Amino acid sequence: MGFRHRDFPDHVCLLRKSLYGLKQAPRAWYQRFTDFVLTLGFAQSRCDNSLFIYHHGTDIAYLLIYVDDIILTTSSDKLRESLMGSLSGEFAMKDLGPLSYFLGISVTRTGDRLFLSQSAYARDIIERAGMTTCNPVATPVDTSSKLGLDSGADFDNPTLFRSLAGALQYLTFTRPDIIYAVQQVCMHMHAPKLDHWNALKRIIRYLQGSHHLGLTLDRSSSLDLRAYTDADWAGCPDTRRSTSGYCVYLGDNLISWSSKRQSTISRSSAEAEYRGVANVVAELCWIRNLLLELRRPLTRASIVYCDNISAIYLSGNPVQHQRTKHIELDIHFVREQVQRGLVRVLHVPSRFQIADIFTKGLPRILFEDFRSSLSIRPPPASTAGV
């Protein structure tokens, strides 16, 4: 029972101010903030509700909010000061200066380059696992067969396993090189076995020798989109489902990546690859729409690289075959984007298929080559000792 008024025993309190801890607090705060920034001339993005866009003449501003953490970037200092003054007058907030830390991600600017790192967070994970003195390994996952549900005896501390696996998921925001290994471990969070625990420890041993690495973003004059997609057909030993992965580049910068088990069983490798193509084409459509809202529309087709000839043939061939009738929706979706000139699906040799790093364990030399292609690099020399 909560507070009850003596004269109005059947009444309840009316929420007038959002407080931490209440279920409705985040929604009420977000609505309050949205209503105000719209009065300043911002428009809310349809692609991302947490993004607000300001375009008036030559003045441009982008505002990104996550709960009470905000990134504001503007075309001029005068506009930034004006918007900060308006926001500070309405809400109690503090200008922390140039972006250096956001949601646990350290941001280092060196000239025209940004270095995104979660090194401190990675070291904390290693410490929580009690492995600060462990020997490092060169890759986060071995090249042997994948783990199944019945891989050894039950692990005696499933709570620790789930805690570390969840922490590793957040680390993939700046470390796409571990996303496949983390995805494989997270599939067994409900009933971890000893072999699953050993696989998780291997990821941590890999981080022991690479926690300083981060994602690099360089200034680029090109706004062309290109993507790599791959699938490991029937790779799951329990369900025989395939794992598909992709990465998307804007110019030379990696901006999106994924490694995920497909929701249905594929009857052929071509079908598994084509579902992977459909997934990355959907992501490209979202990115193109977002760039359109930012008034940076793309004028050329986005390129999707796939190493399966049959999947490439399906994307442009209007003839339906008996073996592809059941994936008709994916076929029509991709083919429509190809016919409209928004997407081109091209072949890439398996040796240069970067998306392999998201679907299977790789030998050290190939893994390090693909990791470098993902712009995962050491910190700038000026911050190497930080």
Tokens of 142: 């071995």
Which residue would you say has higher pLDDT here, 130 or 150?
Answer: 130
Q: Are strands 225-232 and 214-218 parallel, antiparallel or unpaired?
A: unpaired
What's the pLDDT at 148?
83
Tens digits of per-residue pLDDT, 253-307? 999 999 999 988 888 888 899 999 999 999 999 999 999 999 999 999 999 999 9
Please state the rounded mean pLDDT for residues 343-347.
Answer: 96
Q: What percent of the chain has pLDDT over 90?
A: 69
Q: Is 153 exposed, middle or buried (0-12, 13-18, 19+ CB in 10 A)?
A: exposed
Confidence label for 222 from pLDDT (cuts 50, 70 and 90): confident
The Cα 287–Cα 293 span in angstroms is 10
What's the pLDDT at 152?
79
User: In the predicted model, is pLDDT for residue 143 greater than 60?
Assistant: yes
User: In the predicted model, is pLDDT for residue 24 greater than 80?
Assistant: no
Q: Are strands 302-306 and 343-347 parallel, antiparallel or unpaired?
A: parallel
Among 39-43, 226-230, 235-239, 317-321, whose mean pLDDT is lowest?
317-321
User: In the predicted model, is pLDDT for residue 18 greater than 60?
Assistant: no
Tens digits of per-residue pLDDT, 293-330? 999 999 999 999 999 998 898 887 756 565 566 666 76
CA-angle at 66, arms to 261 and 166, nearest 5°: 40
Among 151-155, 201-205, 270-274, whose mean pLDDT is lowest?
151-155
Tokens of 176: 């796409």
Report the mean per-residue pLDDT for the chain: 90
What's the pLDDT at 70?
93
Q: What is the pTM of this model?
A: 0.88
Alpha helices in 211-266 (DSSP H): none
The Cα 316–Cα 304 span in angstroms is 13
Please state the rounded mean pLDDT for residues 48-63.
Answer: 95
User: In the predicted model, is pLDDT for residue 382 greater than 70?
Assistant: no
Contact assessment for residue 385 and residue 378, using Cβ atoms and an 8 Å cutoff: no
Confidence label for 375 from pLDDT (cuts 50, 70 and 90): very high
The Cα 178–Cα 141 span in angstroms is 8
User: In the predicted model, is pLDDT for residue 386 greater than 80?
Assistant: no
User: In the predicted model, is pLDDT for residue 385 greater than 60?
Assistant: no
User: In the predicted model, is pLDDT for residue 239 greater than 80?
Assistant: yes
What's the pLDDT at 291?
95
Among 119-133, 197-211, 256-270, 318-332, whose mean pLDDT is lowest?
318-332
What's the pLDDT at 269?
87
Q: Choose among 381, 309, 293: nearest CA to 348.
A: 309
User: In the predicted model, is pLDDT for residue 161 greater than 50?
Assistant: yes
